[in-house]
Amino acid sequence: MKYFKILALLLVLAIIGLGANGGCGCPGPVPVSGGLGKITGYVSSSVLVTTRIPGATVIATGGGKTYTTVTDDQGNYTLIVPAGTYNVSASKETFNTDTESGVSVGADENKTVNFSLTTGSGGTTEISVSDILISTITHPSQFDIRNVRLDKDIKSSVKSLLDSYPIDIRVVGGDYKSTLILRATFAPSPPIGAQGSRIYVGTSPNGPFVLKTLGPGVITSMPESTASNSVGTLAPNTTYYIYPSLYGTWGENIPEDYMEVSTPDELVLINPDNNGVVSPGDEVTFEWTSLGEESWLYYVEVRTEEGEYIGYFGTYDTSYTITVPPEAQPGNYLWRVIGSRALGEEGPVGLSRQMNIQYTQISISYPRRLVIEAGTGE
C-alpha cells in the first residue's frame, strides 16, 4: 500500500510539472520584477502616413537587454517587455532607421510607438515621366509570370507548367493568382541618385497601403530610361489601389493620388475534355469561360507536349471551331487560351506632369491535352 501511495504522489508531481511547463520540457515562466508591459504600433513610410511596411525589424533596448520582433504582413508589431525605459528603433532595407528614445513602459501598460521611416535625405524631387505601362495578369499559380513571355518564341512555359502540375489539369477555377507589372519611362532621364522603385498596395482607397515589393534600380539606356517592378501575390477579380514610388538619395516620390487597377478573372477551359481524342478531319470546338467584357480578345494556342509552337487563332467569342487538318501528325498536343484587352488612356497620375498610361489586362488558362489519333485512311 505504501508503494502505491508513493507512486501516486510521483504521478501527481509529474502532472503538476507538465502543467507548469506546457509539457514541452522547457523552463517555466520566469517572474520579472515590476511586471510586464507591451510596446505596440506600426511602421510606415514618411512619404504617406497610410502606408505600412511589413518585415521591418523593431528593437527595444533597455536594462541591459534587447528585445526584437518583426512587423507582420500589415506592418504592425507587438513587443512584450519588462516594465522599464527603452530606446525603440525600426529599420527596413532601403529605408533609414528611426529611433524613439526614452520610451517608458509600466506594468500591464500598452504603450503605442509608431514609426515613419524616411529614405535618403527624406525629401522629394522633380520627376518627369513620359509613359507608364501597367499590366495585371491572372495565371496558373505555378507560373512565375514575371519570367514568362507570351509571344510565339516561347517553348517551355506549357511544359514547365505540366512538370510542376501533372496532367490532372485544372477543369475548375481556384488555383490561380494574379501579378501586377509596372514600368515607368522617364523623359528625358530619371533624377540623379535614383536607386530603385517600390509599390504600395491597398484594397481600399483609404488605405492602408502595404509595401509589397522593393524593386531593382533604374535601367538607363539611350534614348530613354526605365524603372520596373512587380507584385506577384494578388488575387484574381479584385480591385486594388496602388502607389508606385521612385526612391533615391534625395528621398522618395509617389503620385499625388492612388492608381486604381483590377485583376482579371480566372480563365477556365470547358471543352474539349482533357485527354479528348480526335482524328484528322474531325471538327473540334474549343470552349472556355467568359471574362465578362466584349472587349476581351481570346487567343487559343496549340503546342506539342514538348512545348513546340504549332499555331493559334483569335476570337472575341468564348468558343472556336476548327477542322483537324488531314496532314495533322498523330500525337499528344496541348492547348490553352490567353485573353487580353488594352485599357490605355492619357491622364494625370501625380508624378509632376501629364503622361501616357498603357494599361493591359491578361488572363491565362491552364492547358489541356488533346490527343490526335491516326486517320483511318478512307
Q: For 66-78, what is each residue's pLDDT tens digit?
A: 999 999 999 999 9
pLDDT number for residue 132: 87
> Please, what's the b/e burial string for 259-270 (b: 16 or more CB within 10 A of its CB; e: otherwise)?
bebebbbbbbbe
Give the start-end residues of each E strand in 141-204.
176-186, 194-202
111-125, 141-155, 299-313: which is most confident: 111-125
Sign of the torsion angle spanned by Cα atoms 264, 290, 164, 151: negative
pLDDT in tens, 322-334: 999 999 999 999 8
HSE on the CB side for 185, CA within 13 Å? Answer: 14
Find out whether 280 and 372 touch, Cβ atoms under 8 Å: yes
Find out whether 258 and 50 touch, Cβ atoms under 8 Å: no
- Cβ atoms within 10 Å, residue 310: 13
Pick the CATH number of 35-117 from 3.50.30.10, 3.40.1160.10, 2.60.40.1120, 3.90.1520.10: 2.60.40.1120
Local structure of 7: helix, strand or coil: helix
Domain assignments of the chain as residue spans, ordered by start:
35-117
pLDDT in tens, 281-307: 999 999 999 998 778 999 998 888 777
Local structure of 3: helix, strand or coil: helix
Q: What global pTM score does this model have?
A: 0.81
pLDDT number for residue 27: 33
List the one residue out of 168, 183, 170 whose CA is nearest residue 139. 170
Cα 192 off chain centre by:
29
- Asked if residue 189 has pLDDT above 60, the reply is yes
- The mean of the pLDDT values for the chain is 81
pLDDT in tens, 38-97: 999 999 999 999 999 999 999 999 999 999 999 999 999 999 999 999 999 999 999 999
Q: How far is CA 95 from CA 75, 121, 189, 214, 274, in A?
A: 14, 10, 23, 11, 50
- Integer Cα distance of 51 and 45 in angstroms: 6
- Integer Cα distance of 370 and 302 in angstroms: 9
Backbone angles phi and psi of 14, in degrees to 5: -65, -40
Residue 345 pLDDT class (50, 70, 90 cuts):
low
Residue 346 pLDDT class (50, 70, 90 cuts):
very low
Bridge-partner residues for 58, per DSSP? 69, 90
Nearby residues of 270 by Cβ (< 8 Å), 6 or more positions away: 287, 288, 289
C-alpha cell of 116? Answer: 515613419
**Poorest-pLDDT segment among 171-175, 273-277, 346-350:** 346-350
Nearby residues of 147 by Cβ (< 8 Å), 6 or more positions away: none
- Integer Cα distance of 127 and 258 in angstroms: 17
Local structure of 326: helix, strand or coil: coil
